C-alpha cells in the first residue's frame, strides 16, 4: 500500500509539474523591426515575464495595414500597433487597445546629408510607413512645424517598415522619412539631419497591447496574464537601465553610446504603467475620425479597455 501511495504521489507531482511548465503559444504583431518602441515588449519576452504567466510569446513583424486583418482572422492574437487599433475601432471594427507603452511618439523626421533644412526639402519625396499610421502623422506634424505643407510642398509616398524606409533613405529613393529611435541617433552620427523630433511636439499613445473583442470575451484569463506581464516589462524598463541597454545592444546591434542616448528618449516618453493622458488619447481619436471622415460620436471606451490594466496595477 505504501508503495502504491508513493507511486500515486509521484505521478501527481509529475502531472502538476507538467501543467506548471506548459506554455501557451501566443503571437503578437506590429510593423516595427528596428524601433525601440517595441523595446519594452521584447525586453519582457527576454526577461521571461510572459513565460512566468504561462505564455510563450512570439513577436512577428507585419505591415500596419494588415495588422487588424491578421488579428480578426486569428493569425495573430494581439497587435502592438495602437494607432491602427484606434482607427479600426472608430470604424466599428471589434478591437480594443489594452495598454500603452509610451505617451509620445518616438519618431524623428530625418533627411539625407544634402538636405540640411526645410527649404532644401521643398519639392522632394518623403517616405512614410503607411497612410494614416502614427509615423505618417508624426511626419506630417513635423513638416508643418517646419513651415511645409505636406500636401503641397513635398510628395509623400508609402514605403512600409522602418528597415525599408531606412534603406530607401540611404539609397536616395526618398530625401526624408520618419525614423524611430534609435535609427535617428545612428543616422545623425552618419551625417544625416534630424529636421525635427516629433516627440517634442506630438503627445500621442504609441505601441502597446491590443486585441479583438472576441479574445476579451472568450479568453479573459489569457488577456489578464498578458497585461500583467506587460506591466512588469514597462516597470523593468524604468528600473533596469543597465540590463535593458545591454539587451538592446545585442538585440539591435548598436553601440553602447547610441543605446544610452536612446534610453533617455524612452524614459522621457514612457507611459504611467500603461495608462496615457486622456487629452492625448482624445486627440488621437479626433485625428482618426478626421482621417476616416466620420462625425459619429466615439468615446474613449470605444477604443480602449483599461479593465485588465486596472486589475494588474490595482488602479
Distance CA 84, CA 187 (A): 27
β partners of residue 212: 95
All three cell numbers of 249 = 545592444
Distance CA 236, CA 84 (A): 26
Q: Would you put residue 263 in left (φ > 0), alpha (ψ -120 to 50) or beta?
A: alpha
Taking Cα atoms as reference points, which of 108, 264, 107 lies closest to residue 196?
108
Contacts 24+ apart (CB under 8 A), 149-155: 150/126, 153/121, 153/122, 153/123, 154/121, 154/122, 154/123, 154/124, 154/125, 154/126, 155/124, 155/125, 155/126
Range list of β-strands (E), 75-116: 78-79, 95-97, 107-111
Q: Beta 210-212 vs 95-97: how paired, if at all?
A: antiparallel
Distance CA 245, CA 165 (A): 24
Is residue 178 a contact partner of residue 135, using CB atoms and an 8 Å limit? yes
- Cα 133 to chain center, whole Å? 12
Looking at residue 101, its pLDDT comes to 95
Q: 21-55 burial, b if ≥16 CB within 10 A, otherwise e?
A: eeeeebbbbbbbebbbbbbbbbbbbbbebbeebbb
Is residue 198 a contact partner of residue 144, using CB atoms and an 8 Å limit? no
Distance CA 273, CA 249 (A): 24
Is residue 94 a contact partner of residue 214, using CB atoms and an 8 Å limit? yes
pLDDT tens for each residue of 104-145: 999 999 999 999 999 999 999 999 988 877 888 899 999 999
Range list of β-strands (E), 44-171: 55-61, 78-79, 95-97, 107-111, 125-128, 155-158
Query: Which letter does DSSP use for residue 185 in this model?
Result: H
CA angle 130, 131, 137 (to 5 degrees): 100
Taking CA atoms, 251 is separated from 139, 140, 209, in Å, by: 26, 30, 21
Taking Cα atoms as reference points, which of 65, 198, 167, 177 lies closest to residue 110?
177
All three cell numbers of 304 = 480602449
Taking CA atoms, 127 is separated from 12, 170, 177, 313, in Å, by: 59, 12, 5, 39
Looking at residue 67, its pLDDT comes to 83
pTM: 0.82
Where the chain has pLDDT below 50, the residues are 1-5, 7-20
Task: Say how many C-beta atoms besides its own lie within 10 A of residue 197's C-beta.
Answer: 20
Q: Domains, the chain, ranges and CATH?
A: 20-103+205-313 (3.40.190.10), 107-200 (3.40.190.10)
Looking at residue 10, its pLDDT comes to 45
Q: Which residues are CB-contacts of 309 (< 8 A; sequence separation ≥ 6)?
A: 98, 99, 227, 231, 273, 274, 275, 315
Amino acid at each position: 500500500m505504501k508503495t502504491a501511495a508513493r507511486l500515486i504521489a509521484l505521478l501527481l507531482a509529475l502531472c502538476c509539474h507538467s501543467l506548471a511548465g506548459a506554455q501557451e503559444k501566443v503571437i503578437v504583431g506590429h510593423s516595427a523591426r528596428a524601433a525601440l518602441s517595441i523595446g519594452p515588449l521584447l525586453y519582457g519576452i527576454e526577461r521571461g515575464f510572459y513565460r512566468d504567466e504561462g505564455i510563450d510569446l512570439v513577436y512577428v513583424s507585419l505591415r500596419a495595414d494588415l495588422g487588424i486583418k491578421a488579428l480578426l482572422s486569428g493569425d495573430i492574437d494581439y497587435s502592438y500597433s495602437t494607432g491602427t487599433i484606434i482607427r479600426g475601432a472608430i470604424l466599428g471594427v471589434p478591437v480594443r487597445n489594452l495598454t500603452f507603452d509610451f505617451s509620445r511618439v518616438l519618431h524623428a523626421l530625418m533627411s539625407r546629408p544634402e538636405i540640411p533644412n526645410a527649404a532644401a526639402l521643398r519639392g522632394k519625396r518623403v517616405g512614410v510607413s503607411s497612410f494614416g499610421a502614427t509615423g505618417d502623422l508624426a511626419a506630417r506634424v513635423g513638416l508643418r512645424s517646419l513651415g511645409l505643407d505636406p500636401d503641397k510642398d513635398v510628395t509623400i509616398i508609402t514605403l512600409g517598415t522602418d528597415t525599408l524606409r531606412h534603406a530607401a533613405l540611404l539609397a536616395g529613393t526618398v530625401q526624408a522619412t520618419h525614423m524611430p529611435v534609435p535609427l535617428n541617433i545612428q543616422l545623425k552620427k552618419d551625417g544625416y539631419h534630424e529636421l525635427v523630433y516629433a516627440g517634442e511636439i506630438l503627445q500621442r499613445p504609441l505601441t502597446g497591447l491590443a486585441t479583438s473583442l472576441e479574445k476579451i470575451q472568450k479568453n479573459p484569463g489569457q488577456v489578464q496574464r498578458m497585461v500583467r506581464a506587460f506591466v512588469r516589462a514597462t516597470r523593468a524598463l524604468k528600473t533596469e537601465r543597465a540590463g535593458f541597454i545591454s539587451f538592446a545592444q545585442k538585440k539591435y546591434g548598436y553601440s553602447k553610446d547610441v543605446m544610452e542616448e536612446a534610453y533617455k528618449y524612452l524614459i522621457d516618453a514612457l507611459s504611467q504603467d500603461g495608462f496615457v493622458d486622456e487629452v492625448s488619447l482624445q486627440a488621437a481619436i479626433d485625428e482618426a475620425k478626421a482621417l476616416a471622415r466620420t462625425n459619429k460620436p466615439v468615446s474613449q471606451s470605444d477604443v480602449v479597455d483599461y479593465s485588465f490594466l486596472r486589475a494588474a496595477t490595482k488602479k
